[in-house]
Structure 1
Amino acid sequence: MPKIEEAQPKYLQIAHHIRDQILRGDLRPGDEVPSERQLASSWKVSRPTAARSLEALSHQGLVEKRQGSGTYVRSLEVNRRARELYGRAKQTGKIYTPGEYAVITSAGWLEAPDYVAEALGLAVGARAVHRRRVTNNDSGPITLSTSWFGPEVGERAPKLRDPDRIREGTLMYVESVTGRQGSYAEDRMCARSSTDDEAADLDLAPGAAVLIVHHVVYDLQDRPLEFAEATYPPERWAFEQGYPIV
């Protein structure tokens, strides 16, 4: 069990830990979350602190308390961002939760768009390896994303050029074959109207609003390792880290 850190209120640390489990899909809708007594024992905190952590999750709309039964994960439509996918891969060795799967629609060498070249530190017009995928669940397509890698990575990681799925996850595969470890990532988000291709892939009406996330992973030497552009449909939640106001 993670240790308490002094920089953040204890109840928030507990709430964020459970929230991350929910967003990764480790705790699924209908699953019971640990009780106040269990949290107090495993995190070595008081019962009121444990109760407050569950209350924070309830305020976020993630859980619901059932009288005389316990606290359970609510049914949610959630956009799983890269941080949740990485966390699940590290914890379980699998990127997707049960019922989710990805279809690789294209893979291989392409001339990198200017914004991709800039993010990866490549010259304008340079070639890069891309992997374009549509992630689906039982209800249909939920995410469209394209990962881009520079020529050095593309040459050393041949599976990136193959349309077959990489079951351990793209980044973990790249780390294993190149020896370059992902250290931190930066995300930029905006909302815009979908392109015709995005609308078709996500089964949306033409011009529907979508959430765009540009995601850059940096290695231990602060060099860009991966650039990814993810497109999310509307009316699904995207969660951010909570923080205290000082």
Structure 2
Amino acid sequence: MTPKVQRSAPPFIQIADHFRTKINEGALPQDAKLPSIADIARDWGVATATAAKAIKQLQDEGYVRSSSQGTFVDLGKKLTSGPDRLQMLRATGSGFRPGERVDILSAGLISASTEVAKALEINEGDQVVQRRRVYLDDQGVVALSTSWLAGQLADAAPELLEAGPLPKMTFGLIEERTGRRAVRRRDVVGMRPVPEDIADVLGVEAGTMALTMTNHYWDQNGNPTEYARDYLGTDRELSAEYVLD
């Protein structure tokens, strides 16, 4: 069916969203060729400048590359952050990009550190679920991610304590078992020294400064559901694009 422009968002954003979804779902795999700007303009009933702006949006976000031969899917070393995975999970049912996989390194109960306790609004030393995993693609480590959740959530979702993948990820599992839906988040990007216990996985020496993203999630009642930190793999990049009214 020929796509049609709606009026809820600028046309170039709608076009970019259309192709981004196809890329995330795997319908347009790595190195697949997108329609030409002229074809996009014709199919969507927009000016060629609008079609070109949509392609530029995808380029800026790290989804495609363009040359004299056309525009091709190129995820390169693009990082998929925790918030990206939540959006992908809700949109497509999967929190992974084509070619990505996850290895669960550990899962269990630990005593909350001062930082984690403050984030989850519990007492220092209280039991929390800690899940650690590494995301990989054909270019190596995408990110090493650690999540912390209040320990009582393991009563409703004992799978949290198993060192295996969660089909719906932590977000979906918690929502399914408790009705608590993550509706708000805060992202903090910074440079941090790599801890000794994850240095080997990242392939760097302990203490090496690495780019990190720390994510904090709250449910519909304003209560924290999860606190997480990603250490990005070598040469990975963070990018974000916003529509400014």
Map Cα deviations across residues 14-60 of structure 1 (whole Å, 9 max, x no partner): 44664576578664431223443554466554332122222343456
Map Cα deviations across residues 47-84 of structure 1 (whole Å, 9 max, x no partner): 321222223434566433343x5321235111110122
Residue equivalent to 1:166? 166
Is the contact between residue 24 and residue 80 of structure 1 (CA under 8 Å) also seen in structure 2? no
Provide the aligned length of Structure 1 versus Structure 2. 242
Residue equivalent to 2:86? 86
Residue equivalent to 1:50? 51
Q: Does 1:5 align with 2:5?
A: no
Q: Which amino acid aligns with 1:134?
A: V
Other structure's SS at 1:116 match: helix
| Counterparts of 2:44 and 2:150, CA distance in 1 | 43
Q: Which runs of 5+ in 1 are unaligned?
A: none
| Counterparts of 2:27 and 2:84, CA distance in 1 | 10
Is the contact between residue 24 and residue 98 of structure 2 (CA under 8 Å) also seen in structure 1? no
Is the contact between residue 191 and residue 211 of structure 2 (CA under 8 Å) also seen in structure 1? yes
Is the contact between residue 30 and residue 74 of structure 1 (CA under 8 Å) also seen in structure 2? yes
Report the identity percentage: 29
Residue equivalent to 2:231? 231
Normalised to the residue count of structure 2, the TM-score between the two structures is 0.84
Alignment of 1:50-199 (within 5 A): 50-58=51-59, 62-67=63-68, 70-74=70-74, 76-199=76-199
| Counterparts of 2:186 and 2:49, CA distance in 1 | 35
Supply the RMSD in Å over aligned alpha carbons.
2.8
| Counterparts of 1:188 and 1:24, CA distance in 2 | 27
Q: Which runs of 5+ in 2 are unaligned?
A: none
Rate the CA distance shift 1:4–1:227 in 2: closer, same or farther, 3 A. farther
Is the contact between residue 202 and residue 234 of structure 2 (CA under 8 Å) also seen in structure 1? no
Q: Measure how far apart 1:176 and its partner are.
A: 0.6
Q: Which amino acid aligns with 1:185?
A: R
| Counterparts of 1:24 and 1:242, CA distance in 2 | 22
